[in-house]
Structure 1
Amino acid sequence: MASQLLSRTQPALAVAVLAALLIGLASALAGGDVTSDTRLSQSRDSREVRTDEQQAREWGLGGEDWARYRQLQQGPLGVYSPNLDPLTALGIEARNDEERRRFAELQVRAESARVSKELAYQRAYDQAWKRLYPTLQVVTLTAAANSSPARLQGNGRLALFIEDNCMACNLQVKKLQTAGREFDLYMVGSDNDDARLRQWAQRMALDPRSVRERRVTLNHDAGRWASLGVAGELPALVREVGGQWQRQ
């Protein structure tokens, strides 16, 4: 009788044991996946934190400055100027004069270092161009634009008046390029020196194709800025509206 009972209960016991083992294995695997996902997430978060710290150091900023820059990029500033660099963004949105001075000094130092590197590379680039294409010019100025009369004629396009060695002017050009805008550029004080205008265009990394296709034209001011009678300092982005030139 006992042997018969044992023989009947053994299969049931085996099934129960097998089920328990399967449940335990599934639980262990699930726990392993959660642990693995958690570790992966933590590792990713750690990499992002390090990346933010590295980027902040590259701009001479601390963690709080970088966090504020991130916050500013989520607001109206990020919509109007999505590719604005951290120092300019923080300087524009400075909360007091001390902050404004600090970010201005940081940007001057950063621009000085950047310009030094760019000039060194520009010299190497010019040498390479002369060696490979000795009969071609890097940037060909638009003859039609340069031969226009001294008084600016409105054609519906944006006109940007700039000066050489002007940080604000360079930032305005970069902003227009990033937005893909078409515009006619006029350099005030260029003394009709084509080489100077070309060198400036090369430093700014203007797309030669845009210049050739006249989406962007490079011109000497030749007195046009003074003839407009528009108040304010350079850079000046203007357009003719109703027969009057207005800042944009």
Structure 2
Amino acid sequence: MNRALLPAVVCLVSLLSTGAAMSNPVTAPSQAQKTQSAPLGRSDSEQAKNWGLTEQEWTRFEKIQTGPRGFWSPNLDPLTALGVEAETNQERQRYAELQVALEAKRAERELAYQNAYNTAWAKLFPELLPIQGMASSSPTSSSVTPRPALFVEDHCPACTAEAQRMQNGGTAFDIYLVGSQGEDEHVRGWARQAGIDPSKVQTRQITLNHDRGRWFSLGAPGPLPVTFQQVNGQWQRLD
């Protein structure tokens, strides 16, 4: 071969090799492909089972939470998220029935524990009024039936009068003391001066609670007392 042509031949071979490589690129699977093909981990499978869902439904729930619904409602439970974003009435009904059954079981367990708690309190502290609602972030009820939540404060004759009126009427309700500073004895002192019947507190017909900012979180305008009750999942002012 002519030595003068050797560099040109080498260059041509190099270009042909590069072209072949470009026409048949080797690509790694995308992250989306990996995610789509990978089975659920053990923890995800257990989570799906706990909520009565299939693995496919749990994967859809996780996808929902990465979209607009996850931004609007970041702490939504799986059944509500799937129900709200259901594409058919049949799907929506399925998630609603799953949620009702699960919440019924939860209410039954919580009520059983509350009864055990009341028994233990009466046994260990028979002379001390129990203070409820320490861990709750919003007015709650120990019963399936919604109860009125009465918000009161110190040095408020109207608050005392309203509490006595509800008590005398036989209403089961929850008292929230605004400004209690988390001090149990502060709440008990208010209850004593308001004439709250200790026996009704022991049986939870009336509960005593720290407000812990709940009144402000509900956006209640005007002076106290204020009464709220849960209606269709929303807290509405009664007075």
Q: TM-score, normalised by structure 2?
A: 0.46
Q: TM-score, normalised by structure 1?
A: 0.45
